[in-house]
């Protein structure tokens, strides 16, 4: 399986969870937890594995993706802090869904086609192979335990900072 196909399948899972929440079917609390854990795990594998590997394909779109992840994380926090019976719950659910839909559309219609053109099938398969266990690990750890307590810092900020520090070390001359 290629990385883009894996991510697209995860997009469909998240879309189904939004539909379930909007219809108010099942246990809302467990569905919200499932949505949060799916989103944080999905964002983690993009931020930690995919984006560093592909940023030269379209650096502007990758940077925008990090920012969309940060906004989605904040919107998700706000949604999780809202009881489903509160009048604002539906508005927060809609806002998060629209953020995610925009992000998914950009990835699937703009970024992924560029990635599939720039990277060969073997590289895309290796990326997917690395993403699967990382997704499972992050999903099991959960949104609440992985996201920074300070709302001014998101997992996207942390991931991008780590990438920038790694890049800065590469530019330093070797010490003799």
Q: What is the pLDDT along the chain (176 residues), one digit of tens a residue?
A: 999 999 999 999 999 999 999 999 899 999 999 999 999 999 999 999 999 999 999 999 999 999 999 999 999 999 999 999 999 999 999 999 999 999 999 999 999 999 999 999 999 999 999 999 999 999 999 988 877 676 666 777 677 777 777 777 775 444 33
Q: How far apart are CA 160 and CA 1, in angstroms?
A: 26
**Which pLDDT score is estimated for 176?**
34
**Which pLDDT score is estimated for 151?**
66
Q: Which of 130, 98, 96, 111 is nearest to 65 (CA)?
A: 111
């Amino acid at each position: 399986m290629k990385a883009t196909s894996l991510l697209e399948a995860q997009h469909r899972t998240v879309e189904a969870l939004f539909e379930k929440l909007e219809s108010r079917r099942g246990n809302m609390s467990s569905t919200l937890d499932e949505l949060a854990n799916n989103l944080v795990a999905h964002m983690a594998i993009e931020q930690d594995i995919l984006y560093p590997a592909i940023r030269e394909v379209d650096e502007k779109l990758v940077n925008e993706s990090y920012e969309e992840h940060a906004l989605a994380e904040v919107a998700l926090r706000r949604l999780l802090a809202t009881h489903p019976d509160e009048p604002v719950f539906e508005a927060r659910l809609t806002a998060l869904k629209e953020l995610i839909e925009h992000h998914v559309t950009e990835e699937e219609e703009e970024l992924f086609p560029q990635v599939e053109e720039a990277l060969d099938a073997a590289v895309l398969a290796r990326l997917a192979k690395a993403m699967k266990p990382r997704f499972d690990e992050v999903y099991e750890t959960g949104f609440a335990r992985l996201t920074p307590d300070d709302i001014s810092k998101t997992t996207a900020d942390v991931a991008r900072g780590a990438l920038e520090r790694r890049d800065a070390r590469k530019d330093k001359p070797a010490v003799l």
